[in-house]
């Protein structure tokens, strides 16, 4: 999925738990959406598929989250 600001704003909440929508442009980068509608940028990396939370949306914007994901 190509993540843009408009796409991130309109991502649906799952009925249970959380769902991660991954970005096609940056490996391991995505947005986790919780059942309550909370959105957070995440990066999954490494051999053991470790996941780190970069920041919450809209406090942290998509462009800044991508920069931080590339840095990590």
pLDDT in tens, 19-37: 999 999 999 999 999 999 9
Grouping H, G, I as helix, E, B as strand and the rest as coil, residue 66 is helix
Over residues 2-18, mean pLDDT: 94
Burial state string for 35-58 with b = 16 or more CB within 10 A and e = fewer than 16: eeeebbbbbeeeeeeeeeebeebe
Percent of the chain with pLDDT strictly greater than 70: 100
Model-level pTM?
0.91
- pLDDT on residue 14: 95
pLDDT-derived band at 44 (thresholds 50, 70, 90) equals very high
List the Cα angle 66/3/14 in 5-degree steps.
110
pLDDT-derived band at 41 (thresholds 50, 70, 90) equals very high
Grouping H, G, I as helix, E, B as strand and the rest as coil, residue 51 is strand
């Amino acid at each position: 999925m190509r993540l843009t600001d408009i796409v991130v704003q309109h991502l649906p909440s799952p009925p249970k738990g959380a769902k991660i929508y991954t970005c096609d442009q940056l490996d391991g980068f995505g947005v986790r959406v919780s059942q309550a509608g909370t959105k957070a940028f995440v990066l999954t990396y490494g051999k053991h598929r470790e996941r780190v939370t970069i920041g919450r949306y809209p406090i942290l914007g998509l462009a800044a989250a991508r920069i931080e994901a590339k840095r990590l």
